[in-house]
Amino acid sequence: MLSYKAPITDIKFLFEDVFDYYGHYGKHAEFSEATPDLVDAILQECAKFCENELLPLNQSGDKEGCTFDNGKVSTPKGFKAAYDMYVQGGWQSLSHPVEHGGQGLPPSLGMVKSEMMGTANWSWAMYPGLSHGAMNTVQTHGSDEQKELYLTRLTEGTWTGTMCLTEPQCGTDLGQVKTKAEPNGDGTYNITGTKIFISAGEHDLTDNIIHIVLARLPGAPAGTRGISLFIVPKIQVDQQGNLGEANNVTCGSIEDKMGIKASVTAVLNFDNAKGVLIGPENKGLECMFTFMNTARVGTALQGICASELAYQNSLIYAKERLSMRSLTGKKFPDQVADPIIVHPDVRKMLLTQKAFSEGGRAMIYYTAKIVDDIEMAKTEEERKAADDRLGFITPILKAFLTEVGLESANHGLQIFGGHGYIKEWGMEQIVRDTRISTLYEGTTGIQALDLLGRKILLTRGQALKGFTKEIMQFCKANSMLSNNPHKRQMNKFIWAMSKNVANWQQYSLRLAMKAKKDRDIVGSASVDYLMYSGYIVMGYFWALMAQSAYEKLAGDVENRDFYRSKIKTAEFYFERILPRTKSLSKMMMASPKTLMQLDEELLSFL
């Protein structure tokens, strides 16, 4: 049976010590209510809901799965009751505008809520989670009438939302979208086509589901330049939001999946379903990226959730499981054997999980502050500056954190040994549930092409310059030449970060030069480059956390072991994980020749 305790101490460390969230909230008058007392109360109540209501449904939901019967989908036992509690508790409305029924609290606080819920039960959390992207899209691109009609019920959680992008003939390549939108002459459109892989596309949790759908207008340009975005409800609604007739949106089937079995993945058929245009004609892909950035950061969160859940359960097991003796002598002579936590290899796996879950959490919370800044930007210049920062780090978050989250999940199974392969312990479920995270919302390869191809090469490294400048300013402020009283203790981190950042900049320039001669270098180097970048970024946040821990230990503080643990984990990361950049740098700089020299016939095994 899986166990989970919300890591509130670590969350508060990031909020109060590392990122000064309350100073950040103080800069935005709209967030004045997000006081330490209120935030602490929210964390405590959210933890109770996750630990007591969601966690017990995690394994049972996986075992039961969703059922499909003639177009109707039933979620596992207990899911609807938990969702009703979620709505009644006001959790869906936490971080959404007051004018549409929200509580007006910061989006970053909603991210913390999502982390807790996702760790306790990722499959369940996907149902309300998909709504946030739909809400952000309507909020950003919808008309006043659309906001009034849809946002209130999406905000309170009585309706949920989806995004309907993928079709049988196209996944990432949305230029192949064939779904049609025929104008009716009254401002509505008839939407016809089939969408696949629609998370939460059909379920029994709410009376209505609001689909955000990509489709083509008559005479639209070919490719991505001719895609528009539409709001298509499952059940038609009048101008007052009252439910009417079914809207010719039917669920054709649900997928039988490797993991996240309690989360519906539906095939949806639109047969002259009525919808309304959201945003300008033929600009659907641009509008959709409001949704996609939200979804990608949310998917990055799954990597942290998997790592945290795997770590917590691995640690409990490693302390209790007795096997062999320590190589340096008996540690527990009164026992028949020592617990496996004394063995260096087990320690290495546990520390890797801890480094990834806590380091990844810092990366997510740093990004959540940027999301707050976008939300509260007073000028277009401010909004664009924050959006550019988010655009640079999003592919790293999505791909890197899901890849290392999967690694952590696999370490968990390995620590449990044969028991990890048995369903009752829940460790194999974490692996199965997490595997999808590296695929949906853009595979690791797609995110890597976005980072290297668009964010680095097309901008001539401007986004990278901004981020590396921030890191180097931190290094300078904590170097041996600074006035920082902890500079000697920090030197081991500062020297490594300075060297890695200089290499990061140089390798990026060298790849740009190589790409001018051979474009295949972009594809061959991109995944290695993204992972290389991710390890450096996480190293920066472990250095930040070490610095904060040193500062706390210099004073009269309780729970000193917590801060010592931060420093020791940072030391482990820099000595055992950050050096992965060396092999990645060699691979990403290699010629693509060995990848491309075999033609299709020679690749055949027949």
The catalytic residues are 441
What is the rounded CA–CA span in Å between residue 508 and residue 530?
11
396-to-275, 402, 405, 522 alpha-carbon distances in Å: 35, 10, 13, 16
CB under 8 Å, gap of 24 or more: what pairs does 555-563 form?
A: 559/9, 562/9, 562/13
Give CA angle at 414 (258, 326), nearest 5°: 170
* Cβ atoms < 10 Å from Cβ of 324: 10
3-state helix vs strand vs coil in the chain, percent to 5: 60, 10, 25
- Per DSSP, what are the bridge partners of residue 223? none
> 247: which 2 tokens?
């809207």
Rounded to 10 degrees, the C-alpha dihedral 434/435/441/443 comes to 140
User: Quick check: 232 and 191 in contact, CB under 8 A?
Assistant: yes
E-only strand ranges, 278-321: none
Residue carrying structure tokens 């990645």 = 584
Is there a contact between 545 and 566 (Cβ–Cβ < 8 Å)? yes
Q: Is 161 helix (H, G, I), strand (E, B) or coil?
A: strand
Alpha-carbon distance of 79 to 569, in angstroms, equals 37
Q: What single letter denotes the amino acid at residue 532?
A: Y
The terminus-to-terminus CA distance of the chain in angstroms comes to 46
What tokens does 129 get?
């989670």
